[in-house]
Structure 1
Amino acid sequence: MAFTQFVVNGLLIGSLFAAVAVGFALIWGVVDIINLAHGEMVMLGGYTTYWLVNFATSGDPASPALALATVPVAVVVLFAVGYALQRTLVTQVTEKDLFLTLLVTFGISIILQQLAIQAWSATPRSVSVALANPSLQLAGIVVPKMKLIAFGGAVVLTGLLWAFLKRTRRGRAIRAVAQNPEASELIGIDVEHTRAVTFGLSAAIAGGSGSFVAMILNIQPQMGLVFTLKSFVIVVFGGIGSVLGALVGGLGLGAVEEVTSGLVGSTWTLAVSFLLLIVLLVVKPSGLFGTSVGDD
């Protein structure tokens, strides 16, 4: 029963890992850079929700409706942040040396961390949501309601992004740029604007996920690195460019880490995750669902 409880908890949290990783994969597949500041988008989304809830309630527990109402705000704010970062900074190093892109995005992550420390200090914070019955009992398994809500929110965010990429004109343009930016430009697609929109979407889904993270876990300015590392593991594990792979990889990583933390100790979670990644890369280098972004 304890093992099952660990798995359930891991799947609930893993959905947030998956949503964050989908945004990370989008940037990697379309803009062709590894965004080391991606985790900071999660952090900023969490603080957006924390600040809005704290402003509205003066520090008292928030109603579920109020807490959830901050998620769209975080999505919009982080879209604007991501779009601006791409247009002003990242575009300067796109299609240049890989080390330079890593250096620029790493620099952005450090700057955002320091700004967050100045704004909110390094003290861990969280959003307290008032629920009459905080947990459900299902066949002997305890399911925290907020984690269940966060699970649903992460699935919705991922589903909306998938639908946008598949069903909208801008989404088709993003997929075209991912496949062949030169040909896309020849048929009239504004490649730089499309890449900036992609960066904005990536930051938006990370920010929305960060809102849910703030409702179930502590947030602090230096939390971004962990989410960036987890996103990297998930994307490589599931297959670069695969939304399905990111979803399965995120759920799997969450379950593995929770079981490892419960049975062995929390200090071993990242080590076990990277060990599984290494084993998978030896057996199947393309990942579980390795495809191009345009075909997913």
Structure 2
Amino acid sequence: MAATQFVVNGLLVGALFAAVAVGFALIWGVVDIINLAHGEMVMLGGYTSYWVLSLVTGNAEGSPLLFLATVPVAIGVLFVVGYALQRTLVSRVIGTDIFLTLLVTFGASIAIQQLALQAWSANPRSIQVSFADPSLAIAGVVVPKMKLVAFAGALVLTAVLFVFLKRTRTGRAIRAVAQNPEAAALVGIDVEHTRAVTFGLSSAIAGGVGSFIAVILNIQPQMGLIYTLKSFVIVVFGGVGSIPGALVGGLLLGSVEELVAGFISSQWTLAVSFSLLIVLLVVKPKGLFGEGVGE
């Protein structure tokens, strides 16, 4: 029964990891850079919901519906942040040496961290959402309601992005740029604008997930690195540029980490995750789903 509880907890948290990784995979597949500032978008999304709720209620507490109303705000704010970051900074290094893109995005992550520290201090914060009964008990497995809401929210964000990429004109433009930027430009697609929209969408998804993270975990300005690392593991695990792969990889990673933390120690979670990644790359170098956003 303990193992079942750990797996359920892992799936609930893993959906959040997966949604963050989907945005990471989108940038990697379309813009062709590894965005080391991606975790900071998660952090900013959490703080956006925290401060919006504080502005409305006087403190970061409220009903589930009131909290959910802050999520679209975080999504909108982070879309603008991501779009502006790509237009003003990232666009200048696209197509250059990969180490330069890593340096630029790493510098952006440090700058965002330091600005957040100066603005909000290093004190951990969280959003308090009130339920009459905070947990559900199903077949002996305890499921916190807020984790269930966060799980559903992460799946909705991932599904909406997937449908957007498949069914909308902008989504088709993003997939075209991922496949062949030169050919996309020849048929009239504004490649730079499309890349900026992609960056904005990725940041928006991360920001929405950050809102849900703020209700189940503490948020603080230096939390972004762990989500960037997990996103990297998940994306490589699932297949670079594959949204279904990122979703499956996130759920698997969450389950494995919870089992390791429950039966061994939480200090071993990252070590086990990266060890599994190495094994997978040896056995299946393209990941579980070796296809890209363009496909």
Read off the aligned partner of 1:88 and give its amino acid letter: T
* CA–CA distance in structure 1, aligned partners of residues 69 and 201 of structure 2: 19
Asked if 1:83 corresponds to 2:73, the answer is: no
Distance of 1:68 and 1:86 partners within structure 2: 28
Deviations, residues 99-157 of structure 1 (Å, cap 9, x unaligned):
00000000000010011111110011100001110000000000000000000000000
Aligned-partner Cα distance in 1 for 2:259–2:61: 30
Q: Which secondary structure state, in structure 2, belongs to the residue aligned with residue 294 of structure 1? A: coil
Unaligned runs of 5+ in 1: none
**In the alignment, what sits opposite 1:197?**
197
AA of the residue aligned to 2:294: G
- TM-score normalised according to structure 1 size: 0.99
Pairing 1:37–2:37 present: yes
Provide the alpha-carbon RMSD of the alignment. 0.6
State the AA in 1 paired with 2:272: V
Amino acid at match of 1:28: W
Normalised by the length of structure 2, the TM-score is 0.99
CA–CA distance in structure 2, aligned partners of residues 247 and 144 of structure 1 = 22
Secondary structure of the residue aligned to 1:293 is coil
2:55 alignment partner in structure 1: 55
Instruction: Quote the Cα distance in structure 2 between the aligned partners of 1:61 and 1:150.
Output: 16
Name the aligned partner's letter for residue 34 of structure 1: I
Q: Deviations over 1:179-217 (max 9, x none)?
A: 000000011000000000000000000000000000111
Using the alignment, how far apart are the partners of 2:120 and 2:65 within structure 1?
Answer: 24
Q: Letter of the aligned partner of 1:220 in structure 2?
A: Q
Cross-structure match for 1:179: 179
Fraction of identical pairs, as percent: 76
Within the alignment, does 1:255 sit opposite 2:255 as a pair?
yes
Aligned length: 295
Aligned pairs for 1:268-287 within 5 A: 268-287=268-287
Q: Take 2:277 and 2:14, find their aligned partners in 1: how far apart are those partners?
A: 16
Match of 2:15 in 1: 15
Look up the match of 1:158: 158
Alignment of 1:106-121 (within 5 A): 106-121=106-121
Partner of 1:217: 217
One-letter amino acid of the counterpart of residue 59, structure 2? G
Unaligned 5+ segments in structure 2 are none
Aligned equivalents of 1:279, 1:48: Cα separation in 2: 38
What amino acid sits opposite 2:160 in the alignment?
Answer: L
Q: Could you list the runs of 4 or more consecutive aligned residues of structure 1 that deviate by over 3 angstroms after TM superposition?
A: none
Aligned residue number for residue 64 of structure 1: 64
